[in-house]
Amino acid sequence: MRAATIRDGKIVFETHPDPVPGAGELLVHVRGAGLNGADMHQLRGLYPAPAGSPQDIPGMEIAGEVVGHGPGATRFAHGDRVMSIVGGGGQAELITVHERLLIPVPDALDWPEAGGFPEVFTTAYDALFTQAGLSGGERLLVHGGAGGVGTAAIQLGRAVGARVTATVRNPDSRDAVAALGATVIPTEGFAEHGPFDVILELVGAPNLDPDMDALATNGRIAVIGIGGGAHGELNLGKLLVKRARIHGSTLRVRPLEEKALTARLIERHVLPFVAAGTVRVPIAETFPLAETAAAYAYFAAGGKVGKVIVLP
């Protein structure tokens, strides 16, 4: 098979042996694979793939067709359309995935949309609902509203009846983000627009103090990104007075059982929104797999709304 490959901090296009599915695994012909911020960190050597996943082939989410079965794998048939979060190796023509991690692709999603769905919608759902307990009528602030997770979080918040506000740095992107159902504000001075019951934090340390100012009593901050910095100061007095909670989350390193649970929650609670047309996957741009290096350059340039997808 051919795959995007990390060599000396760069993306190249190389041939690799075809993967062979093990017990409980399926072989998937990849039709779409999304790029994520974690891929950029892995390219720079800052975020290695977990044990059992290829270190040199990036890609954390895929969609494709089942083309092979390992021993004991019975959940999907040959030719079924599936999608999944993976530990790595997604930006390739073929990949093996445990059947319990796979989610059926709804008819409403084409291949680029399906390839950009699993990581961002699972991340957003897990942070907002499983951990932060967002409910209808609450006020949600999404930082980085133009990115993949941001666009997913906005739509999920709106779908359950939350009042959603999103920060967007690029003025040219604000109308597109507002069209998803958010009140869009600049990144500067966002605390003045509070209070918020839940804040989805994708920037990191620079927002920590203003997040506390923007938080309502009994509010929750879900930290899922630290691209702006990992170290900051926290005024514990504000935390105490507001009876607030801060928690962090990643998906990639979780064990199979926990990842399988997140997949089932997406099937039960998010796929009905997809089928109803309540949520969609905004696509910023697509690239052939052979041009994955150009896809990374486009992703790194910023200013986009939605997902960047490579298409094997």
CATH of the domain at 78: 3.90.180.10
Same structural domain, 256 and 206: no
Same domain, residue pair 75 and 133: no
Q: Are residues 184 and 267 both part of a single domain?
A: no
Q: In the prediction, which pLDDT does 222 show?
A: 97
Q: Which of 248, 264, 284 is the last residue of a domain?
A: 248
- Number of structural domains (the chain) is 2
Residues 170 and 188 in one domain: yes
Residue-wise pLDDT tens digits, 165-176: 999 999 999 999
> How high is the pLDDT of residue 10?
95
pLDDT of residue 35: 96
Token couple for 230: 């990992």
On whether both 167 and 226 belong to a single domain, the answer is: yes
Residue 188 belongs to a domain with what CATH number?
3.40.50.720
Q: Which pLDDT score is estimated for 176?
A: 95
Residues 6+ apart with CB under 8 A from 301: none
Cα distances (angstroms) measured from residue 303 to each of 59, 126, 249, 257, 280: 21, 26, 25, 36, 20
Please give the pLDDT value at position 302.
Answer: 85
> Do 55 and 175 share a domain, yes or no?
no
What is the predicted pLDDT for the residue at 264?
Answer: 98
Distance between CA 53 and CA 250 in Å, rounded?
Answer: 16
Residue 251: its pLDDT value, please? 85
Give residue 47's pLDDT.
86
Q: In the chain, which stretches have pLDDT less than 50?
A: none
Domain residues for 64? 2-117+252-311
Reported pTM: 0.94
pLDDT given at position 311: 97
Assess whether 224 and 300 both reside in one domain. no
Residues 191 and 256 in one domain: no
